[in-house]
Homo-oligomer: A and B are copies of this chain.
Amino acid sequence: MIKLFLYLLPLIISCNAIHPGPVVKATKGEVWPKPQVEEKTDEYYIVRPHGFNFKGPNNIGCPNFLNDAFTRYWTIIATSSSLERRGRLHEVGRKPKTEFWKDDSSYIGDLNGLDVQLRECSSEDVRPAFGDNENYTLNITKEGASLAADTIWGVLRGLETFSQLIYLEQDNLIINLTDISDFPRFSHRGLLLDTSRHFLPVYIILQTLDAMSYNKFNVFHWHITDDHSFPYKSRTFPELSDKGAFHPVSKVYEQSDVSKVIEYARLRGIRVIPEFDTPGHTSSWGAAHPELLTTCYTNDKPDEDLGPMDPTKNSTYDFLTKLFTEVVDVFPDSYFHIGGDEVDFYCWKHNPNITSFMEANKISTYEDLESYFIQHVVDLLDSLNSKYLVWEEVFVNGVTLPNSTLVHVWRDNGHETLNEVTKAGKYGIFSSCWYLDHLSSGGDWEKFYECEALDFPGTDEQKQLVLGGEACMWSEAVNEYNIMPRVWPRASAVAEKLWSAEDVNDTAAAKGRLEEHTCRMNNRGIAAQPPNGPGVCL
């Protein structure tokens, strides 16, 4: 048989010599993130794309949804072959193709298709939602290949895994006999993009959604507004982006752009959760609506500056009611991220109206004033039947939150905070050590991989309240020119922490798979950067 598994042998390197070639050899046909249960043999099929078909279930709905996915993955498989060959086309004096499998007892035959079984699909319009069942089983046996899942989301995850099991061997696509039973460790596996500090064109967001699906992420957290720009073009208040975007036409997300993003994400089993951060991080709102923000005072006189939203005016809440009613309608996910982080109290402290209001309402601290504001927003979203995420400050400041709230933990002492959050019976989402804007030299993914969300001394009951986490790409220093290689494959490290079993935590063992996964993303058009030092994708 051909030596398919030699690459799995540990490399024996002496203490001093540097060997030519890649530092980390890519695996072949290994899956990222690693499945929960996987067994493989060295017996294999050959996959010939033009003789290969996905076979959908006959007894179930959603044929269009499935066919869209089948076409996508058939294309991925077909091009992973032709892309590889293209690089070799002009190879001078290369050996004639050998039909290496002919005398190989491990060769089972050609794989003609994947039989897909889906228990139930409610409708073509089905949307991913919090807590979806994403389980699937995938069996490549001598009798053929089959994928079974309860939901369309499980099918999507299984198709991704199937496409990753296929690898190139001497110009042929190979898949080993494999049994996989897989499911995510956490329900909420997110990537945050900040489209305020730099504008990100829609095509970059769509490419990111593609890459997210290759990593089994299921939440796109769209931090759509912040201090520096307001690119969301509101139906109700178009002046917010007319005046608050970096450019009123070329740097805004039209309603049709937002729909495009949501639909593209849906077809990949990815939820889109918008964040309209308040009461801080709102300077850009003030370009069109300065009355929403707190007037700052210097030496007891108003100056030119504006601070956080003004929590004392009913008009602030009236405005938010109108805007958030629209947003909840535009973004179909049942969750909304209401922000609440990093409120600067300077302007509140110096504004005499704020002071009078606090005295009149017996509010003694600025944390309590912030809570007063957030309580209004929370009540508003309750009235809109929307659930929400909040940044950890909202919990820490003691706002009354329903149990459905997800507390998003991000500051440095995140594990302690998660302990507190879950001790209080609240759900936690973890990001503290997954900030992609924190750069180091080198491949710079290991630090993300070596951070475990549940590494705090709580009870099992507490840990079950941690529903997942998010990799966060704040965009102070990224735009369309560098965001793809900055996010990928560094976010892939987080993806594996969120999907795979807790004991999948050996960085050295992950390197070869991440090397392969990075090249796989490159082949699929994602500009992922090299993770492991000197190397090559062939």
Contact = CB atoms under 8 A, between A and B. Distances in A.
Interface of A: 14-23, 87-88, 90-92, 94, 196-199, 227-230, 244, 246-251, 283-284, 286-287, 296, 298, 303-307, 344, 346-347, 437-444, 475-479, 481-482, 484-486, 522, 527-530, 533-536, 538
20 contacts: A15-B346, A16-B307, A16-B346, A17-B306, A17-B307, A19-B283, A20-B244, A21-B246, A22-B246, A23-B228, A87-B249, A90-B249, A229-B534, A247-B536, A250-B538, A475-B534, A477-B530, A481-B484, A482-B482, A485-B485
> Most B CB atoms within 10 A — which of A87, A198, A247, A538?
A198
Contacts of A477: 441-444, 529-530, 533
A198 B20 contact: no
**Chain A facing B: main interface SS:** loop
A251 B251 CA distance: 39
B476 A538 contact: no
Contacts of A535: 198, 228, 246
Nearest to A294: B17
> Most B CB atoms within 10 A — which of A18, A248, A306?
A18
A381 B522 CA distance: 42
A441 B443 contact: no
Contact of A538 (B23, B196, B246, B346): B246
A20 B227 contact: yes
How many copies of the polypeptide does the oligomer hold?
A: 2
Nearest to A485: B482
A227 B346 CA distance: 56
Contacts of A90: 249-250
9 closest A-B pairs by beta carbon, nearest first, are A17-B305, A482-B485, A246-B536, A197-B534, A228-B534, A16-B346, A482-B529, A20-B284, A481-B527
A20 B228 contact: yes
A61 to B, nearest CB: 40
Contact of A14 (B14, B227, B248, B303): B303
Nearest to A284: B20
Contacts of A229: 20-21, 534, 536
A528 B17 CA distance: 37
Contacts of A344: 16
Contacts of A530: 198, 477-479, 481-482
A248 B91 contact: yes
B527 A14 contact: no
A414 B81 CA distance: 49
A376 to B, nearest CB: 23
Given A443-B477, A477-B530, A347 B17 contact: yes
A479 to B, nearest CB: 5
